[in-house]
Every structure is written in C-alpha cells, then in structure tokens.
A and B are shown apart, each in its own frame.
Chain A
Amino acid sequence: MDIKIRNCLMAGWWVLWFIPEAALAHKVNLFAYADAGKIYSESYFSDGRSVAGGKVTVYDSLERLVLEGATDKQGLFSFDIPKTDDLTLVLDAGMGHKNRFVLGKAEMTAFRSEPERPGVREVLAGIGCILGLFGTAALIASRRRR
C-alpha cells in the first residue's frame, strides 16, 4: 500500500509541478528602456517569439493614458519620451495575454554619456597590465645585457 500512496503523491506532485508551467508557457514579457531621448520596448512570449501587432498603452504615474501604439513584427515599439515621469507600459498581446512594465523617471533623466564607474576589476586589470608590460620589458633588457 505504501508504494501506491507514494505513486499517487508523486503523480499529484508532477501534476502540480506542470500546471503553472503550462500556464506560463504563454506568458508575455514586456521590457522597456530609455536611451537618447526615446523609450524602446520589446515584447515577446515566454518561448522567445516576439509579439507582433501587440497593443502597447502607456500611462503616467497618475494612471492617465499618455499614448498608445502597436508592436512591429519584431515585437518592438519605440516612442519619444513624452514626459519625465514614472511611466507604466501595458502590453496586450490579445487572447488575454497581458503584462506591464514600469519605467522609472530616473532612467529617463540618466545621461546616456555618463560612464559607469570603473570597478575593482578594471583597476586590477590595468595595474596587472602595467606590471606585466614592464616586467616583459625588463626581461628583454636583461637578456640584451648579457
């Protein structure tokens, strides 16, 4: 009997495991970023296919409609930054597939040309490079001296 119970539990576990997977299989994803005065959005299904002709609506922080448009064949939709505000992009891919993406205003005001601060890795790489080059030069010079 023990084995039967265990099998039942296993089966139930597998069913439970797969149900959310099945539901997620047609999740749509929406991603947006701001760059050089424009906002770019990309829409794709969870299997990687792009959402063609999906409806994108943009709302401001007070939930007012700012603009709307449709994704192209690659699932892309871009528009000039309408105003500096926390914008919510809502993608409706049809048949109940919907998702949203919130783009904070900090991302819009960030300067594109502002470089990322160099990290420890870059510093160590540079110092290592300097020491390596001078070490090599010293090696060559010491060979010549002989």
Chain B
Amino acid sequence: MHISDGVLPVSITIGSYVAGVALTAWSARHIPYRDMPRVAVVTAAFFVASLVHISLGPTSAHLLLPGLAGALLGPAAFVSIGLGLLLQSLLFQYGGLTALGANILMMGLPAVACGWFFQTFKGKGINRGRQVVVGGLAGALGTVLAAIILAVLLMTGGEDFFGVARIALAAHVPVILIEAVASGLTIGFLARVKPTLLQSSFAGPDDNTPGTHHD
C-alpha cells in the first residue's frame, strides 16, 4: 500500500508533503529523551515489516504495522513512519519519493488514531487480557484506516472512492487479520515483560520536553 510517483495530482502531492513533513518534524521535536530507543526499535520494525509479504487472498500484500506503531508510540509514530517510508522508498523502491508526503499521511494518521484508541480503551492498571484485545483491534484498525485514506487520496487523482476502498480492503483482509494477531501478541508480551513501554510517549513523565510538567 505505497503510492507511486505520478499517481496523485500535483496540488495534492505538494499539500500532503507539507502536512506529512510538518507532522513528522513536530513529533520528532516532542520525543522525550528516554523514549528514543523505543522509537528507534519501532522504526526498524516498521521499516522491515514491509518485506513480509503475505500471499494469501486475491493479491500479495505486505505487513504495514501502522496500528502497532501507533499503539506503542502515539504521536511519535510519525517519526517512525516518516523515516521508515523514506528508507523504504530509497532502498526498496517501495513508493515514490515524490509521493512520500502522501504515504506518510496514509500511514501516520491511522497510527495516531490507533495510538489514541489504544490509550483510551486499554484500561487503567495492568489488565493484560484487555490490553491484548484492544491492541489487536488497534492493529486491525490501522490498516483499515490506511486503506480508507488511500481511497481518499486516489479519489483526488480521479478514481472512484468506493471502488478503490473496496479493492484495497479486500486485498488487505489477510494483512488486517495477521496484524491484529501480531499486534495483540506483541502488546501482550510487552504488558508482561515491560508494561511501562505501553504508556503513551507524550503523556508519561518526560525529562527534556519543555512545557510539560514532571510528575
């Protein structure tokens, strides 16, 4: 689910570039110092996940992981996704360099939505079962939202919204299911070994971001 060069109209390309890069830069500035290793690891996972092709169903699709990245990083996922997509474009030729902005929005906005979803519904305290279920739902939701944003973006290039959305969702049904399971398992594992990792990056006590209180 990477948009290639020359698919979108110029105005949308430029607009999405500005928005995508601005959001990436904003989130990069707000990563607390102690969260840098976590963001680096999620970035590496997001970068490599695109190589995991799932040849089930009508087409071959690959893992995307915006939902898991969002659940683990919150708004900081924009940095992971921006850098991951840039490297995927440069090294794998996945997605055009001119469409990078659109691709960042397509993966980043679902990630942030999933991060909010996970933080809101995971419940207070350590409730592992609930975290697994909510994490799995976030994983599935990420790819569903990405497919919808893809359809919105391609609609600006003159394609039929419902046609694209249906095809993109149908092609990603296996990916959605696998990401739900993978996200749920990952979050369940983290909830057991390091539950503090599941706290939101931005909401937790941080130590170098000006303007946030220490507690």
Contacts and interface: CB of A to CB of B under 8 A. Distances in A.
User: Chain B interface residue count: which class?
Assistant: 20 to 34
Nearest to A121: B91
A142 B83 contact: no
B47 A126 contact: yes
A134 B47 CA distance: 14
Contacts of B94: 115
A126 B91 contact: yes
Contact of A130 (B43, B51, B207): B43
Contacts, number: 51
A118 B91 CA distance: 8
Interface in A85-124: 115, 118, 122-123
Contacts of A135: 40
Q: Is the interface of A mostly helix, strand, loop or mixed?
A: helix
Contacts of B48: 123, 126-127
A131 B33 contact: no
A123 B51 CA distance: 9
Given A115-B93, A122-B91, A137 B44 contact: no
B37 interface: yes
A83 interface: no
A127 B44 contact: yes
A141 interface: yes
B33 A141 contact: yes
Contact of A134 (B37, B84, B87): B37
Given A127-B48, A130-B83, A134-B39, A142 B33 contact: yes
Contact of A129 (B51, B87, B92): B87
| Pairs A-B, 4 closest by C-beta atoms | A134-B40, A122-B91, A126-B87, A118-B92
26 contacts: A115-B93, A118-B51, A118-B92, A122-B91, A125-B91, A126-B47, A126-B87, A126-B88, A126-B91, A127-B44, A127-B47, A127-B48, A129-B87, A130-B40, A130-B43, A130-B83, A131-B40, A133-B83, A134-B37, A134-B39, A137-B36, A138-B36, A141-B36, A141-B208, A144-B208, A145-B208
Interface of B: 33, 36-37, 39-40, 43-44, 47-48, 51, 83-84, 87-88, 91-94, 207-208
Given A131-B40, A131-B44, A145-B33, 19 more contacts: A115-B92, A118-B91, A122-B92, A126-B47, A126-B48, A126-B88, A127-B44, A130-B43, A130-B44, A130-B83, A130-B87, A133-B40, A133-B83, A134-B36, A134-B37, A134-B43, A135-B40, A138-B37, A141-B36
